[in-house]
Amino acid sequence: MTVKVIKDYYIKRKPKLMKDFSKELELVRNLLNRKFAESEVEGLFTQMKLEYEKIIPEIPYIGGTKNPFSSLLVGGMSSLAMFRVLEKEGLSLREIGEIYYELRDISNSIRKKSLEKIGKEPAQYPFESAYVDFAKTMCETLKLKNYPDDWVGDYVEGDGKIFEWGFNFHECAFQKVFKRLDAEKYIPFLCLADFSEANILGFGFSRTQTLGFGAPMCDHRYVKNCKTPRGWPPDDLPEYNEKILP
């Protein structure tokens, strides 16, 4: 099947992307206030917005709203604007990683409350049959490689004991575009955000390796009745590689 790649897809949506990014920046304000004066934070926000404007044309098209992973990719690309500016301001990779992880904790806490407000149990959503069916279908679609910059992975059936089900991702959209933009050093931050989601929402998640930490694949596993460890600092996680993130 031939699919159309819309090269100016995100450029046309720049106003909304910038508006969403401004909201995201407000979530990180208090975290930055620990290291910068309020006046400096405003200056950082201005720099980050300018950086994101440069990044928007670089966001790969992987299907737009037809691909649920598109929003994930956009989020990672907006985060790249933060990473670049904070490193330019003299923060170490470790300091940037910690700020980003705490930002994800804040975002996931908001998401948890939203799910609870509509009567959903946050800790159960990965195990709902509708979500599992979605994951299976998504993996089959990804195998078609309709979009070269997309993720590619397999659905893995669990035994109900060690884990319920999982993904084996062999290609990562973040890795592809970040490599192209000479920003590979930041990829582990995005990987570790998976632990924030599971830890805050309350479902079991485990992983032994990731592409971001130099492994040949990412082996996501969803586990019932298991407490997910906090992903920061990452040094004790099986996937951690000190050569990638000292």
158 is a domain residue? yes
236 is a domain residue? no
Position 2 scores a pLDDT of: 62
- Average pLDDT of the chain, as a whole number: 97
Q: How far is CA 62 from CA 7, 100, 189, 211, in A?
A: 10, 25, 22, 19
What is the rounded distance in angstroms from the CA atom of residue 58 to the CA atom of residue 228?
34
The total number of structural domains in the chain stands at 1
CATH of the domain at 91: 3.90.1520
189 is a domain residue? yes
Mean pLDDT calculated for residue range 221-228: 95
| pLDDT tens sequence across 151-204 | 999 999 999 989 999 999 999 999 999 999 999 999 999 999 999 999 999 999
Question: Strand 204-206 vs strand 218-223: parallel, antiparallel, or unpaired?
Answer: antiparallel
Q: How far is CA 68 from CA 3, 64, 144, in A?
A: 16, 8, 16
90 is a domain residue? yes
The number of angstroms, rounded, from the C-alpha of 9 to the middle of its chain's C-alpha atoms is 21
Which residue range is the domain that position 138 belongs to? 9-223
For the chain, counts of helices (H) and of strands (E): 8, 4
| pLDDT tens sequence across 93-126 | 999 999 999 999 999 999 999 999 999 999 999 9
3 — pLDDT class (breaks 50, 70, 90)? confident
| pLDDT tens sequence across 31-80 | 999 999 999 999 999 999 999 999 999 999 999 999 999 999 999 999 99
119 is a domain residue? yes
Here the tokens at position 92 are 């170490």
191 is a domain residue? yes
Q: Which residue has the tokens 């989601």?
A: 197
- Identity at 141, one-letter amino acid code: T
244 is a domain residue? no
238 is a domain residue? no
14 HSE (CA, 13 A, CB side): 13
Position 4 scores a pLDDT of: 84
